[in-house]
Amino acid sequence: MRKVILILARIIVGGALLLLMFFMGAAFFYAQRADYGWKPVIAQPSFTTEHPRVVFDEGHNNASKAGFSGRYWPFARLLRADGYSLERANFTFAPESLADVRILVIVNASGAPKPQMFGINLPIPTRLRRGDPAFTEPEVQALREWVEQGGSLLLIADHAPSGEAAFALGKSLGVTMHNGFVEIPGERSDPMMFSAENGRLGQHPIITGDGPGTIVSRVATFTGQSLDGPPGATVLLRLPEGAVESVPDADDRFTEQPAGPAQGVAFEPGRGRVVVLGEAAMMTAQVSGRVPFGLNTGDNDNQQLVLNIMRWLARKL
């Protein structure tokens, strides 16, 4: 009798494990995740002898990470293909930790973790809010001073709550993040198109490039928030008049208000260079429900936008 019970128990446990694996596999198949089949094609890499060091922040509860299980793995793959040395980092921002950093990338930092596995959100509770400040006041000060002394920063903060979490850092650089979900009434807003034809691309080396094949003519973004840049900043992605933004309050009730003028800005504080973007998916390749979006759709110049932003930050453009 005991042997029969053991056999039945093994069958039940084995069946449960198989069922769990099936559901996990199905969830992975349909989840929003990195497109692991996407491979960047670059005719002429920007760096073949020197390899600028790019530090990708993963120390501030970042919802977007560059490791294999992260949604920014394709972004990292693109940078390495273009000749950069990319390093994933988990450290507190301070003068000593930033001293040897040439280019810093921060994507969707937040005040609380968002546990994921290959794009699948895991139901692990936390006492913190993702919209809480992602950076301490000393970190914000250290980053601002590092930029002013010549550092290059790519700061990306998506729709709520990412803009709220990065608000203090943006403000220290003169950028206001509106922390909502932006849309253009009367138009499809996911994706939103910024093109030479609709007049929503700015005049900047990041857009115009430096030769044939490097011009950015069409950029797709996927919701995101709006921004106000500091005086003198160049608007890279210009939102039209009439764009609106749904902004949540502390109780997740949404209020519609006029959106800021931009989803992307570039400027040079002190001796440094900064690009701030209000949308993250445009800079990587993902799939959701088996549908590709981002660098992998072929109907936009988003890959060239990434290359031009990084080349400008590396002072090659």
So what's the pLDDT on residue 10?
A: 61
- Tell me the whole-structure pTM to 2 decimals: 0.88
d(CA 183, CA 241): 11
Give the model confidence (pLDDT) of 89-129 as tens digits: 999 999 999 999 999 999 999 988 876 555 555 666 666 78
Residue 308's pLDDT band, with cuts at 50, 70 and 90, is: very high
Fold (CATH) for 31-313: Rossmann fold (3.40.50)
